[in-house]
Chains A and B, each alone.
Chain A
């Protein structure tokens, strides 16, 4: 998938040329620019974003024991979106926009968790989700307000495009800035994937096996939020991947989280590279990723529903 993504693009580069450039041949500077500065960072970014969203979705679905959960259930996408459009409104440089989106995404979830704590509902998933919906709605209102205040000639289109999700402007620097957050987010999930899998059986069972369900759940939420915020701040709001890919992975591996997590991350990466390759090649214009993932995602999701519910834990 990565190779296909690297080989396909609007600037015609034969496969042989790609290989020579990768081998260090700089005789064609234009080809090198296209490949090394534009196409490869983008393909890698797509893979990372897809893996992050899918892994976060799988983690959320397992810990909340709910198949309809996606990474933005606690408002992280809306929060990051609000920060980013605020950054666009203030005319920040691109990295500033990303940083602000990242920060507000984390802040939103911190706010949700704090609220849950204040309501003494730490152990109660429902309270947490409801708080997430409420704060997410607030962030959504904030986005609308920013749109209203934005300059309709220049800022409003930028905000609209950003909210639909795109990797068109990704550079190497963005990758470098985002990678640590993604790694820090996924490492604990991978290391603790056995224990997290036990959460799916219910808090009481998990406790009986010597696991502090509340603390573990908070850790999972923190990791998944970190990854989602990093992905959203780089690529904009991309729906469906975090909801749908874990289901696809579940068809392959079954519901065990220790197998589900790596499968979801891999399928997410492949799916996102595929979607992004389509986004930059099916028309001269970029097709926003949010549109493509929904167009591809909605039918698959309905099909999954039609197949009937699968067991949620073993």
Chain B
């Protein structure tokens, strides 16, 4: 073994000391949605997204900086993702109740920043501060609500040091929302359909108004029949759905969409009678939620065509292809679009 010479050691020490102030002053200070001032590095190269919504936004903004997924993309999502990001490992979940990610495992992957995108509540604010302290990593939380989406994208892009890309995506989001608002301005309340959002193979799990899983229904002008005051998922009985008599049913469950026509307890519901049960596409990310992130912009375009087939403007296939190219980096061809959207 060769011992480092004393002079070499001193030089190394000197270099380290010289680097210290640089380390301390490198990077920027950002104020996140929790109101905390967080020191973030310039051009962070290894970023961990704490929850699925953040992972989707990080993928859209700066895929080369991802170090892993919260939950690995499903096999059917893989063809829709950049290959270098699709193969990243599943690290687990850091936000919410019951983390599955061990902080030591996370630190062993050498991240320089943790970002989160989603609900800003007391729990998450507290969690962000605690993890930052415990892991010694900057942890930035950005508000992920629909209303805040363009700003959220810009803020996240600034944190990730990809302002230009962020501006492109945020402008797209603004434009999409503005187009939707222009469309809705011409549609009186009476022409806006009542919508039931069906989940689970029986279609009996549903998010109520105010739930982040159903936020998109209200945004696109639909009237969620589930008015109850919970903001999570609930089960309802088919009898209750009969009483609500929704004009449109949106589902994220392939099995339910395939079977609903033959299920006796769903007969007579206007949406079923009129063939207005729509299966939301889900690759690589869901159109309705799953996760509730920027992927919902594609759902917004899709829903505006499904809810208002007469009034909707623009070419659904072309618009969705453009969104995929801009956000996910791959432009789907005609066959892929048909597989995604149906005919």
Contacts and interface: CB of A to CB of B under 8 A. Distances in A.
25 contacts: A10-B237, A10-B239, A10-B240, A11-B242, A11-B243, A12-B243, A29-B268, A30-B242, A37-B238, A37-B265, A38-B242, A38-B265, A42-B237, A42-B239, A94-B202, A152-B52, A153-B52, A153-B291, A154-B199, A161-B205, A168-B235, A172-B264, A284-B240, A286-B204, A286-B236
A227 B268 CA distance: 35
Interface string B243-268: 10000000011010000000111011
A212 interface: no
Given A280-B237, A284-B240, 8 more contacts: A37-B238, A42-B239, A166-B235, A168-B235, A280-B240, A285-B208, A285-B236, A288-B235
Nearest to B207: A157
B100 A11 contact: no
A280 B290 CA distance: 28
A34 B242 contact: yes
A152 B92 CA distance: 11
Contacts of A94: 201-202
Contacts of A91: 255
A92 B226 CA distance: 27
A9 interface: yes
A182 to B, nearest CB: 22
B264 A37 contact: yes
B227 interface: yes
A151 interface: yes
B228 A285 contact: yes
Contacts, number: 99
**B contacts with A: majority SS:** loop
Contacts of A124: none
A33 B264 contact: yes
Nearest to A164: B235
A46 B243 CA distance: 21
B71 A151 contact: yes
A33 B202 contact: no
B204 A157 contact: no
B100 A148 contact: yes
Which interface class (under 10, 10 to 19, 20 to 34, 35 or more) fits A?
20 to 34
Contacts of B52: 152-153
A309 interface: no
Contacts of B183: none
A137 interface: no
A38 B235 contact: no
A158 interface: yes
Contacts of B235: 161, 166, 168, 285-286, 288
A195 interface: no
A39 interface: yes
Contact of A168 (B93, B237, B264): B237
Nearest to B199: A154
Contacts of A14: none
Contacts of A280: 237, 239-240
B321 to A, nearest CB: 25
Which 8 residue pairs of A and B lie closest in terms of their CB atoms, listed nearest first? A285-B234, A11-B243, A37-B264, A169-B202, A153-B290, A286-B235, A30-B268, A284-B228
A157 B233 contact: yes
Interface string B262-292: 0111011000000000000000001001110
Contacts of B100: 148
Contact of B201 (A12, A93, A152): A93
Interface string B117-156: 0000000000000000000000000000000000000000
A286 B233 CA distance: 11
Contacts of B238: 37-38, 168-169
Contacts of A42: 237, 239
Interface string A213-243: 0000000000000000000000000000000
Contact of B228 (A9, A37, A161, A283): A283
A9 B52 CA distance: 39
A285 B263 CA distance: 21
A194 to B, nearest CB: 41
Nearest to B243: A11
B79 interface: no
A247 to B, nearest CB: 30
B230 interface: yes
Contacts of B208: 285
A91 B75 CA distance: 15
Contact of B240 (A11, A37, A172): A11
B210 to A, nearest CB: 13
B234 A286 contact: yes
B251 to A, nearest CB: 11
A33 B267 contact: yes
B200 interface: yes
Given A11-B243, A158-B205, A284 B236 contact: yes
A9 B242 CA distance: 11
A29 B242 CA distance: 12
Nearest to B263: A171
Interface in B165-214: 199-202, 204-205, 208
Contacts of B239: 9-11, 34, 38-39, 42, 280
Contact of A153 (B227, B267, B286): B286
Nearest to A288: B235
Contacts of B290: 153-154
A152 B240 contact: no
**Most chain A beta-carbon neighbours within 10 Å: one of B200, B227, B291:** B200
**Most chain A beta-carbon neighbours within 10 Å: one of B238, B239, B252, B253:** B239
